[in-house]
């Protein structure tokens, strides 16, 4: 699912929840109007006042989070990349200690956020030189011990190997008529009383047409066959039988 669709769904769910609360309090319902373009626009929130006050047009920033150095990807010895977010002054000093370069924490170029932003390229080169000496696991251990936010960049293969995703049931083995079984992303959000479940991966086009038309519309097999002959409905010949 595209991220914008997912965020739009979240906004719709939030709006529905607020509407239900309003109904409980007042007895009156209301409509929920959610636009895909407005959901995407919410990602650009910081650029709105910046342009209005300075005329600066936000552009691509790569892996960096602008104006928050250091907050980007750094290379590792084993050919991967680790994301380090040490934008707060105190966190940066902890990073400098973890790098065995505590002097960076008091260096006039890097001691405060504004200076780190001005000297971002130089700072990233120093950190990158340090991260390149260690493999991912060693870096994660060093940074976790120093209480510096950092994580590896996951591939799908990493997700399949991660115990957290398995424990949270986010990789669900699901029955499929054609493939036998296929792994799908789990249900979100997870509710205690009505957690939801995945019954199948998705049926073929027309697979359930006969069952739906018979059980919900009360059409006979002959009527369905006539509609199919006219091209009004489509019924998968291998579909579920009523």
What residues act catalytically? 5
Instruction: Please choose, from the candidates 130, 120, 170, 167, the residue with its C-alpha nearest in 3D space to the C-alpha of residue 150.
Output: 130
Q: Report residue 19 as tokens.
A: 């509407």
Q: Return the HEC string of 199-241.
A: CCCCCCCCCCHHHHHHHCCCCCHHHHHHHHHCCCCCCCCCCCC
Q: Report residue 189 as tokens.
A: 């959000």
Answer for the pair 219, 202: CB distance below 8 angstroms, yes or no: no
189 preceded by cis ω (within 30°)?
yes
123 to 18, 72, 86: CA distances (angstroms): 45, 11, 12
Element (H, E) at 149: none
CA 127 – CA 77 distance, rounded (Å): 13
CA 197 – CA 190 distance, rounded (Å): 10
Rg of the chain over Cα atoms, rounded to whole angstroms, equals 27
CA 212 – CA 216 distance, rounded (Å): 6
């Amino acid at each position: 699912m595209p991220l914008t669709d997912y965020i739009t769904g979240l906004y719709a769910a939030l709006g529905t929840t607020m509407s239900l609360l309003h109904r409980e309090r007042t007895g009156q319902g209301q409509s929920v109007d959610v636009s895909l373009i407005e959901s995407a626009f919410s990602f650009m929130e910081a650029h709105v006042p910046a342009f209005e006050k300075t005329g600066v047009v936000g552009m691509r920033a790569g892996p960096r989070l602008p104006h928050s150095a250091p907050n980007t990807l750094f290379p590792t010895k084993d050919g991967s990349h680790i994301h380090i977010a040490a934008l707060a002054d105190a966190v940066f000093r902890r990073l400098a200690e973890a790098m065995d370069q505590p002097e960076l924490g008091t260096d006039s170029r890097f001691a405060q956020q504004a200076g780190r932003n001005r000297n971002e390229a130089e700072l990233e080169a120093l950190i990158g030189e340090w991260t390149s000496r260690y493999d991912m696991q060693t870096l994660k251990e060093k940074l976790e011990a120093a209480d510096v936010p950092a994580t590896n960049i996951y591939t799908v293969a990493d997700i399949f190997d991660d115990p957290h995703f398995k424990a949270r049931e986010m990789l669900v083995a699901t029955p499929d008529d054609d493939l036998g079984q296929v792994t799908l992303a789990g249900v979100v959000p997870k509710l205690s009383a009505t957690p939801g479940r995945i019954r199948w991966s998705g049926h073929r086009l027309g697979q359930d047409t006969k069952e739906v038309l018979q059980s919900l519309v009360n059409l006979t097999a002959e009527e369905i066959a006539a509609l199919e002959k006219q091209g009004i409905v489509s019924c998968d010949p291998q579909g579920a039988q009523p």
